[in-house]
């Protein structure tokens, strides 16, 4: 059995010069490389750990060392470690070798680094802007650099070039960014031959708010609140991932009681979102009765959230070091009762949907994302599990889930039905977990949060398997403040998956494919 | 004497038609345990559109401007051919039940053109889908009515319905016509009136570019068309007591008529609740089945049942 460091030795044996290795946290190894070895090392990790690029980002360290830092995060599942490569990019030569041609999941990250820091990914096949639209943002202005000042007037002059699909009978259908429903803004450009979709190009970034910039120099308490607002439907997942990062950076031991409460909240968040999506899928194929049923279940969970935490969307629960509020015995009783009753109703809902011929005809074999495609694109979370990729951070890093006998849900076919089935089974599993955690919680007394005080400058990665997939926060703290915060919402990985899943499907089936992924605009655009 | 009465009949029918849509919605919402909009909501919508400003796409030609009038006009004319309460123009020798389908086709033709005319991507999709579905709807509908015509040896609407009575072939034709009605009134499983998803729309997609009074006209026409289909279905399923010769007073006739429409509305509402919308290309199977029923009904009626 190889050890993680043994694998890294292999890398060294291949001639990659490893400058430094930090093992600051048990589940996280940072390996400093020379920039010229960066590409080779990343490729090695990508293949050895069969991991997508889970995050890739830069940091502006020009004041300290006249250089930018670039980071690339891989998940070494077999070793239960995050493997983070980093290298310095000298400020007078702002270039780095692009990974995008070899690792697709690096592509969007590199485009993001390019527009945010002005670091050019050399050899990247697609250097168009991602979030800072050419129509509104001028060239040569890089907001995540430390010396960035927002000018009073900007004079943008660019236009975005969409990919063109030409051919007899091919026509384009542009949809959005403003949609008919109450959803986020995104532009979808279909190239269709009759009804079947030949190509779908998704342009996002309309809700770019500069979240990562706003994090810088925030106090920690404020930053927790900010993390809750990054993606509204994953408020808890985001705040936990952020808290986890800061807690790791300051070597804080979170009390078990807080961890159980957090786990309950995370699963409640999963429940209400899964119900919303099960209902949403039913709405999008016009099966309104089942949709109504699902919305009742969602509402029950939201009210439960309100009762337990005072917030329907689980905001204001987390704080650095633990949680703010204790669940009382009565609350836990109510929680158990309600979860059991919702579980029963969910059984009925499942039966109603899966036994309806007209419904099954719509979802079965629709929007297939094949496992190979999903792997190549670096799809994560629920969508990946529906395509047969068995990755779940709750399994890889059990932590509070250890002892709960957590069962990862996977499906093989990657169609809308598979994603629906993953949701349905995860609902049952989450309900079971909540009951387990609630039982544990009932026996525990003690502090709700550890005392937080930040000693030394440090950085750490926080990661939580939220309902949509892994939410990653890489936080660097210096001078008692947040110096850099990189956020990766699973939506950022999965949007390309949608463009591939819809190929060959007819245009009227797009909404249900889209809903089966249910990706966040806000979490993607940041 | 007949003409003013006919106009009166058509006028009442147009005014009452939105109520039918409102009622179907009530039925659906009651089944979904939802409060839902009031029965008169369709009227409120029309009143709202009448007050609103109209926006016309720059690329639109006269077709776009005239289509609402053509659609509403042809639907109103179609209304004359159907013995809604008691009288039918066909009896006055101005046409028969086939004219009804031609009038519908005229409206459909213009609406499809208008969908393309406005130059939006959705209109074109709606138009192409509408024509695709129409090519399956029309044969099934014409054949279903032909069954009834075969009974009375006439395609004139009034004697046609009066002479029919309940028959086995009539029931099969009604089954076919029911499927046609779902398609023609843009209901699940063919279309979905409630959806906000432009990409899945059929009828609504063609109307997306319309606003203000034009939209009001098109919606009124859609309500009236639905009433025509419901009454046709009702007339074939329960052929009595239509026509002046049944010996009943006009009031009783009207009461029976309303009852039939309510029954149709409830059945349509139940169907919509119980099913998911079909994948677009499955609609051919569905309407193909309707066509098959029509043919079967014709054969059965040829055998004398």
Q: Using an 8 Å CB-CB cutoff, list chain A residues near B195.
A: 286
Contacts of A289 in chain B (CB under 8 A): 31-32, 273-274
Domains assigned to chain A: 4-122 (3.30.460.80), 211-525 (1.10.645.10)
Which chain A residue has the Cα nearest residue B194?
A286
Confidence grade of residue A155 (pLDDT, cut at 50, 70, 90): confident
Percentage of chain A beyond pLDDT 90 is: 53
Give the β-pairing of A81-90 and A28-33: parallel
pLDDT for residue A3: 85
Is the pLDDT reported for residue A197 higher than 60?
yes
Inter-chain CB proximity B273 and A172 less than 8 Å: no
**Could you tell me if A263 and A437 are in contact, meaning their C-beta atoms sit under 8 angstroms apart?**
yes
Q: Which two tokens stand for residue A327?
A: 């669940």
Q: Which of A195, A288, A361 sits opposite B280 (nearest CB)?
A: A195
Nearest residue in chain B measured CA to CA from A172: B121
**Strand order in A470-478's β-sheet?**
A458-465, A470-478, A481-488
Q: Among A171, A285, A288, whose Cβ lies nearest the Cβ of B273? A: A288
**Structural domains in chain B (count):** 1
**H or E element in which residue A97 lies:** strand A95-97
At residue A455 the predicted structure's pLDDT band, cuts being 50, 70 and 90, is: low
What value of ipTM does the predicted structure carry? Answer: 0.85
The pLDDT value recorded for residue B87 is 60
Contact A193, A489 (CB under 8 A): no
Contacts with A511 from chain B: Cβ below 8 Å = 197, 199-200
Shortest CA distance from A192: residue in chain B: B125
Nearest residue in chain A measured CA to CA from B119: A173
Q: Which of A173, A195, A358 sits opposite B189 (nearest CB)?
A: A358
pLDDT at res. B19: 94
- % of chain A at pLDDT higher than 70: 100
Please judge whether A287 and B196 are an interchain contact, meaning their C-beta atoms are less than 8 angstroms apart. no
Q: Which chain B residue has its CA at the smallest distance from A281's CA?
A: B276
Report the pLDDT averaged over residues A377-390: 93
Cβ of B278 and A358 within 8 Å?
yes
Q: How far is residue B173's CA from residue A449's CA, in Å, rounded to a whole number?
A: 73
CB contact under 8 A, B276 and A289: no
Q: Which of residues 181-200 of B touch A (CB under 8 A)?
A: 188-189, 192, 194-200
User: Which tokens sit at B167?
Assistant: 């028959």
**Residue B51 sits at the chain A interface (C-beta within 8 Å):** no
B121 contacts in A (CB within 8 Å)? 171-175
Closest residue by Cα to residue B163 from B148, B143, B141: B148
If one compares B4 and A521, the residue with the highest pLDDT of the two is A521
Q: B239: how many CB neighbours lie within 10 A of its CB?
A: 21
Touching A: B residues 80-109, CB under 8 Å: none
pLDDT exceeds 60 at position A41: yes
Give the residue-averaged pLDDT of A360-388.
92
Structure tokens at A10: 């292999």
pLDDT of residue A345: 93
Q: How far is B198 from chain A (nearest CA, A)?
A: 7
Distances (CA, A) of A179 to A23, A187, B133, B200: 47, 9, 26, 13
Give the model confidence (pLDDT) of A323-340 as tens digits. 888 888 888 899 999 999
Output the pLDDT for position B44: 96
H helix runs in A22-181, sequence order: 35-48, 62-65, 107-117
Q: Using an 8 Å CB-CB cutoff, list chain B residues near A173.
A: 121-122, 125, 199
| Residue whose tokens read 């077709």 | B63
Measured from the Cβ of residue B166, the count of other Cβ atoms closer than 10 Å reads: 12
Instruction: For chain B, 305 residues long, give each residue's pLDDT as a single digit of tens.
Output: 577 777 888 888 899 999 999 999 999 999 988 888 999 999 999 999 999 999 998 888 999 999 999 999 999 988 887 766 666 555 556 677 788 889 999 999 999 999 999 888 888 889 999 999 999 999 999 998 888 777 766 666 555 555 556 678 888 988 999 999 999 999 989 888 888 888 888 888 899 899 999 999 999 999 999 998 998 888 888 776 554 444 566 677 778 888 889 999 999 999 999 888 998 888 999 999 999 999 999 898 888 77
- Chain A residue at shortest CA distance from B208: A180
Q: Tens digit of pLDDT for each residue in A409-425?
A: 999 999 999 999 999 99
Rounded Cα distance between A131 and A112, Å, is 7
Task: Count other C-beta atoms under 10 Å from residue A452's C-beta.
Answer: 16
The mean per-residue pLDDT over the stretch A210-230 comes to 89
A178 touches chain B (CB under 8 A): no
Question: pLDDT value at position A53?
Answer: 93
Average pLDDT value for residue range A187-208: 90
Contacts of B188 in chain A (CB under 8 A): 286
Q: Do B121 and A172 touch (CB under 8 A)?
A: yes
Q: Which of A190, A196, A288, A352 to mutate to test the interface with B (most CBs of B within 10 A)?
A: A288
Secondary structure of residue A422 in the 3-state scheme: helix
pLDDT of residue B86: 62
- Asked if B206 and B115 count as a contact pair (C-beta separation under 8 A), the reply is yes
pLDDT averaged over every residue in chain A: 90
Q: Tell me whether residues B28 and A180 touch, CB distance under 8 A.
A: no
**Minimal CA separation from A273 to chain B, in Å:** 21
Which residue among A174, A286, A506 sits closest to B195, beta carbon to beta carbon? A286
Rounded distance, CA A32 to CA A38, Å? 9
Partner A, chain B 117-136, Cβ-Cβ below 8 Å: 121-122, 124-125
B224 touches A: beta carbon within 8 Å:
no
β-strand pairing of A67-76 with A81-90: antiparallel
Residue of A nearest to B280 (CA): A508
Is B276's CB within 8 Å of A195's CB?
no
Closest CA to A96 of A153, A171, A142, A40: A40
Partner residue opposite B194 with nearest CB, options A195, A285, A288: A288
Residue B197 and residue A509: Cβ atoms within 8 Å?
no
| pLDDT of the residue at B122 | 87
- Selected residues 190-249 of chain A with any CB under 8 Å from a CB in chain B: 195
Q: Note whether A180 contacts B197, CB cutoff 8 Å.
A: yes
Q: To probe the interface with A, which of B182, B183, B197, B289 has the most A CB atoms within 10 Å?
A: B197
Question: To the nearest 10°, the Cα dihedral for A398, A400, A402, A404?
Answer: -120
Q: How many CB pairs under 8 A join A and B?
A: 78
Task: State which of A5-9, A248-252, A486-490, B156-160 shows the largest mean pLDDT.
Answer: A486-490
> CB-CB: which of B122, B195, B276 is closest to A359?
B276
| Contact between chains at B280 and A506 (C-beta distance less than 8 A) | yes
| B176 neighbors B291 (Cβ within 8 angstroms) | yes
Q: Where are the alpha helices (DSSP H) in A184-328?
A: 211-215, 220-228, 235-249, 256-284, 288-309
Q: Any idea which residue has 């106009």 for tokens?
A: B7
Of B192, B279, B280, the CB nearest to A361: B279
Q: What is the domain range of residue B141? A: 2-302
Is A16 or A428 the better-scoring residue by pLDDT? A428
C-beta atoms surrounding A52 within 10 Å: 25
CB A289 within 8 A of CB A249: no
SS3 A76: strand
Closest chain A CA to residue B31: A289
- Rg of chain B taking only CA atoms, in angstroms: 19
Nearest CB partner across the interface for A289, out of B197, B273, B279 = B273
Query: What is the least distance, in Å, from the CA of A214 to any CA of chain B?
Result: 35
Q: Which pLDDT value is given to residue B92?
A: 55
Compute the average pLDDT of residues A259-270: 93
């Amino acid at each position: 059995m190889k050890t993680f460091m043994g694998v890294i030795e292999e890398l060294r044996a291949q001639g990659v010069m490893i400058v430094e290795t930090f093992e600051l946290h048990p589940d996280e190894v940072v390996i400093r490389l020379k920039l010229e070895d960066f590409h080779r090392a990343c490729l090695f990790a990508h293949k050895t750990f069969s991991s997508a690029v889970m995050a890739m980002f830069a940091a502006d360290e020009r004041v300290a060392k006249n250089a930018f830092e670039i980071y690339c995060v891989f998940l070494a599942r077999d070793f239960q470690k995050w493997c983070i490569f980093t290298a310095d990019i000298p400020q007078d030569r702002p270039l780095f070798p692009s990974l995008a041609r070899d690792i697709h999941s690096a592509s969007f990250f590199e485009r993001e680094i390019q527009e945010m820091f002005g670091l050019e990914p050399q050899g990247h096949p697609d250097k168009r802007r991602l979030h800072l639209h050419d129509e509104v943002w001028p060239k040569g202005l890089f907001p995540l650099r430390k010396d960035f000042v927002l000018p009073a007037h900007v004079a943008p002059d660019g236009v975005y070039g969409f990919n063109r699909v030409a051919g007899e009978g091919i026509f384009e259908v542009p949809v959005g960014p403003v949609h008919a429903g109450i959803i986020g803004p995104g532009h979808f450009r279909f190239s269709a031959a009759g009804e079947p979709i030949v190509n779908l190009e998704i342009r996002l970034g309309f809700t770019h708010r500069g979240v990562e910039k706003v994090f810088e120099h925030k106090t920690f308490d404020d930053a927790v609140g900010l993390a809750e607002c990054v993606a509204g439907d994953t408020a808890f997942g985001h705040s936990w991932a952020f808290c986890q990062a800061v807690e790791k950076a300051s070597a804080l031991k979170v009390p078990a009681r807080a961890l159980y409460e957090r786990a309950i909240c995370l699963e409640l968040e999963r429940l209400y979102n899964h119900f919303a999506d099960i209902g949403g899928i039913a709405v999008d194929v016009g099966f309104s009765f089942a949709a109504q049923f699902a919305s009742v279940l969602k509402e029950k969970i939201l009210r439960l959230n309100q009762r337990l935490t005072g917030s329907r969307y689980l905001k204001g629960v987390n704080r650095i070091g633990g949680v703010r509020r204790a669940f009382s015995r009565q609350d836990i009783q109510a929680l158990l009762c309600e979860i059991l009753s919702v579980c029963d109703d969910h059984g009925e809902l499942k039966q109603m949907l899966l036994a309806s011929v007209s419904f099954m005809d719509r979802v079965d074999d629709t929007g297939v994302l094949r496992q190979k495609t999903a792997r190549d694109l670096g799809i994560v979370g629920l969508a990946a599990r529906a395509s047969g990729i068995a990755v779940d951070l709750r399994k890889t890093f059990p932590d509070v889930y250890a002892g709960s006998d957590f069962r990862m849900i996977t499906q093989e076919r990657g169609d809308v039905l598979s994603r629906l089935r993953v949701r349905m089974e995860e609902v049952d599993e989450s309900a079971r977990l909540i009951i387990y955690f609630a039982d544990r919680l009932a026996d525990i007394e003690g502090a709700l949060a550890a005392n937080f005080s930040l000693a030394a400058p440090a950085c750490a990665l926080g990661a939580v398997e939220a309902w949509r997939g892994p939410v990653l926060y890489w936080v660097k703290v210096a001078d008692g403040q947040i110096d850099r915060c990189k956020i990766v919402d699973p939506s950022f990985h999965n949007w390309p998956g949608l463009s591939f899943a819809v190929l060959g499907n007819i245009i009227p089936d797009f909404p249900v494919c889209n809903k089966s992924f249910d990706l966040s605009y806000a979490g993607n655009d940041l | 004497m007949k003409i003013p009465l006919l106009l009166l009949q058509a006028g009442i029918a147009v005014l009452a038609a939105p109520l039918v849509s409102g009622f179907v919605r009530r039925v659906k919402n009651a089944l979904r345990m939802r409060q839902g909009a009031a029965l008169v909501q369709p009227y409120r919508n029309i009143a709202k559109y009448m007050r609103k400003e109209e926006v016309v796409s720059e690329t639109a030609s006269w077709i776009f401007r005239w289509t609402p009038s053509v659609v509403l006009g042809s639907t109103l004319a179609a209304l004359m051919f159907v013995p809604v309460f008691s009288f039918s123009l066909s009896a006055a020798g101005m046409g028969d039940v086939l004219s009804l389908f031609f009038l519908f086709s005229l409206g459909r033709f213009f609406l499809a053109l208008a969908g393309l005319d406005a130059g939006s991507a959705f209109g074109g999709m709606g138009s192409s889908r509408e024509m695709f579905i129409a090519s399956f709807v029309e044969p099934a509908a014409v054949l279903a009515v032909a069954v009834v015509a075969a009974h009375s040896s006439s395609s004139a609407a009034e004697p046609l319905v009066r002479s029919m009575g309940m028959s086995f072939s009539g029931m099969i034709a009604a089954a076919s016509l029911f499927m046609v009605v779902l398609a023609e009134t843009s209901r699940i499983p063919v279309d979905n009136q409630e959806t906000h998803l432009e990409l899945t729309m059929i009828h609504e997609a063609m109307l997306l570019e319309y606003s203000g009074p034009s939209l009001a006209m098109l919606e009124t026409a859609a309500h009236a068309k639905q009433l025509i289909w419901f009454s046709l279905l009702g007339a074939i399923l329960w052929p009595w007591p239509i026509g002046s010769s049944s010996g009943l007073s006009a009031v009783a006739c009207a009461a029976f008529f309303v009852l039939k429409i309510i029954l149709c509305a409830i059945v349509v509402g139940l169907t919509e609740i119980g099913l998911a919308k079909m994948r677009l290309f499955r609609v051919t199977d569905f309407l193909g089945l309707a066509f098959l029923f029509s043919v079967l009904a014709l054969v059965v009626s040829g055998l004398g049942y």
